[in-house]
Amino acid sequence: MAEILVLVDHVDGAVRKTTNELLTIARRIGEPSAVFIGSGAAPVEALAKFGAEKVYVVDDAEIKGYLVAPKAEVLQQIAATANPGAILISSSAEGKEIAARLAVKLESGVITDAVDVDANGVTTQSVFAGNYTVQAKVTKGTPIITVKPNAAAPEEVAGAGAAVPTAVTISDAAKTATIVASQPRQATGRPELTEAAIVVSGGRGTGGDFTAVEALADELGAAVGASRAAVDSGWKPHTFQVGQTGKVVSPQLYIANGISGAIQHRAGMQTSKTIVAVNKDEEAPMFELVDFGVVGDLHTVLPALVAEIKARK
Amino acid sequence: MNIVVCVKHVPDATADRKFESDNTVDRVGVDGLLSELDEYAVEQALQLAEKNEGSEVTALCIGPEGAADAVRKALQMGADKGVHIVDDAIAGSDAIATSLVLAEAIKKIGTPDIVITGMASTDAGTSLVPAALAERLGLPQVTFASVVETQGDQIRAKRDGDAATEVIGATLPVVLSVTDQTGEPRYPSFKGIMAAKKKPLETLGLGDLGLGADQVGLSVAWTAVESTAARPPRTAGEIVKDEDGSGAKALADFLASKKFI
Ligand SMILES: Cc1cc2nc3c(=O)[nH]c(=O)nc-3n(C[C@H](O)[C@H](O)[C@H](O)COP(=O)(O)OP(=O)(O)OC[C@H]3O[C@@H](n4cnc5c(N)ncnc54)[C@H](O)[C@@H]3O)c2cc1C
Ligand SMILES: Nc1ncnc2c1ncn2[C@@H]1O[C@H](COP(=O)(O)O)[C@@H](O)[C@H]1O
């Protein structure tokens, strides 16, 4: 069975949930091999737990300070010997850029933003702001597929987890864009926006006061999101933005509060399974999307909802 | 400073976008325009040009006949000249093939100090083209920039990553992609619209770039769309008016019925 390479998405060795999803998908297509680029002890056990048969371990001392390009070279060099059946990468900004460079290097087709991948490598994507579903396939070379969070339920299947220390050579050309400074994102203590099962977000209608939105999020164990209007007003950092130019989320439940529902916002949440909105204006376009809507002031409805949920526990 | 800004002509995102029977994007039935996100690229190109005397901004677009409109809009905003690559053989090209044509066009124009692109096209939206361009041109990749500064031959850009906010540095020439955080694009002024009519707009075909029809287009694409389907419309939900706290109770009932609480 062909090896399927999975590029491990991690923060300082802590494997992100998306990687477990990729390993689960890889097992459908072939034999999952994880590629870990990092320093310190590689999380071999954590990867084996979700089915990694092999873990290529690449020390990132020479890679860390540069943007994207060296990682594409790592995958190119591993692919040259492993001859994989497919290469799976998380569909983040960086993941898609690695995929783009790798596609040119390997002369292979690339598909981005898959929300599902079947055993034959046929992908499902959601396009045009979620209005269309498309199925596609790579027809040349080694299929390179970037996969969105929540594309599969991670399955625990013990893999052999054989660590393969791997030496790579990074070209000078790949070291021309340097990371001059880096400020790690502050932990919010809440679930990752793109991975969360529930997202509670706020827009201009919050008037800058996210207290009620955050209280509801915490009651539900949800991530907090924001519209661009809220981000542009400086109420939340850009990493909270949901939409075309922010994060695209597809949770089980999305609750939009004081958000009108512009097409660019919809593009980031339209595929959520269940959609709820609270808005003062009954004409707000967001209500066209909802499974349940409340016409009312979020500053009274949300605290009352939190009290109601507490009372029912 | 010589700047090439890549602009894509896309179906209007606020219109009813569709696919053709061969599963390519319908670029005729829906009004097209300069991709909203590429307006930010044009704006940054113009701002960099204004800061560096003697600069020239070239707007470059690949697309069918009507796509020249995207170049014209860039000229109206203030770009100096336009290059439009049109060839029937290009139709149906995927992002990686598009990056090949753009790379060859840029080499033909003469590799500039900065190639600027948008963060993503608003139709395909893959964000593949900028990184693929950097790979093909062998230039440093400075992408997803929310703030851009140049000093001499040095460029610095802020990039909001998933795990960190980074400052990326490189020496020109580079490929730069910019986000909508870089600042609102200007509107063409009346003067700009008039001036644009006299600006050069060159039209080139694949042959002019030394490329063959066997390298691009739907039939040789490295990916194939097998099917497209409109999402079933969402069934109308229940909407209640909040009166004396009834809204919160009804919402809690709904969430409980769906087992969220
Ligand atoms: C290139 C481009 C990219 C963009 N990308 C994004 C993106 O990624 N994400 C995004 O969100 N937007 C994006 N936008 C912006 C988008 O077009 C809208 O401007 C934005 O989504 C509006 O945010 P909003 O709904 O919070 O504000 P508004 O449209 O101002 O809506 C506020 C809503 O709050 C309601 N309201 C007010 N007070 C209350 C109250 N007390 N209680 C309840 N409801 C209340 C109002 O009735 C109104 O419906 C983009 C725009 C462009 C041009
Ligand atoms: N056909 C095209 N013509 C000119 N520029 C393009 C074209 N396609 C993509 N680009 C550029 O590449 C960027 C990213 O596009 P994409 O990779 O399709 O998301 C866009 O914002 C444009 O700047």
So what's the ipTM on this one?
A: 0.95
pLDDT tens digits, residue range A231-249? 999 999 999 999 999 999 9
What whole-number distance in Å separates Cα of residue A273 and Cα of residue A252?
Answer: 5
Q: How many other CB atoms are found less than 10 A from the CB of residue A175?
A: 17
pLDDT tens digits, residue range A62-115? 899 999 999 999 999 999 999 999 999 999 999 999 999 999 999 999 999 999
pLDDT tens digits, residue range A23-70? 999 999 999 999 999 998 999 999 999 999 999 999 999 899 999 999
Tell whether A15 and A119 lie within a shared domain: yes
Which of A141, A175, A209 finishes a domain?
A: A175
Q: What is the DSSP letter of A205?
A: G
The model carries a pTM of: 0.95
Domain count, chain A: 2
Angle between helices A298-312 and A211-220 (to 10 degrees): 20
Tell me which ligand sits closest to the C-alpha of residue B94: 2
Tell whether A273 and A305 lie within a shared domain: yes
User: Which among A87, A104, A228 is the top mutation candidate for probing chain B, defined by the most B β-carbons within 10 Å of its own β-carbon?
Assistant: A104
What whole-number distance in Å separates Cα of residue A157 and Cα of residue A177?
Answer: 39
Which residue from B minimizes the CA distance to A175?
Answer: B140
Q: How many other CB atoms are found less than 10 A from the CB of residue A287?
A: 21
Residue A143 lies in a domain: yes
Query: In the predicted model, is pLDDT for residue A217 greater than 90?
Result: yes
Mean pLDDT in order along chain B per 10 residues (261 residues): 97 84 82 95 98 96 96 98 97 94 97 96 93 98 97 96 92 98 97 97 97 90 92 88 93 97 93
Which domain does A75 fall in, by range?
3-175
Helix (H) / strand (E) element for A178: namely strand A178-184
Residue A80 lies in a domain: yes
A301 → closest Cβ in B247, B254, B255: B247
A294 → closest Cβ in B159, B223, B251: B251
CB neighbour class for B122 (10 Å; exposed up to 12, middle 13-18, buried from 19) = buried
Q: Phi-psi bin for B144: left (phi > 0), alpha (psi -120 to 50), beta?
A: left
Q: Is A243 annotated as a binding residue?
A: yes
DSSP state letters, A111-139: EEEEEEE-TT--EEEEETTTTEEEEEEE-
B226 contacts chain A (CB < 8 A): yes
Measured between beta carbons, which residues in chain B are less than 8 angstroms from residue A296? 241-242, 247
Of the given ranges (A141-145, A186-190, B154-158), which has the lowest mean pLDDT?
A186-190
3.40.50.2000, 3.40.50.261, 3.30.70.380, 3.40.50.620: CATH of B2-220: 3.40.50.620
Tell whether A112 and A169 lie within a shared domain: yes
Residue A184 lies in a domain: no
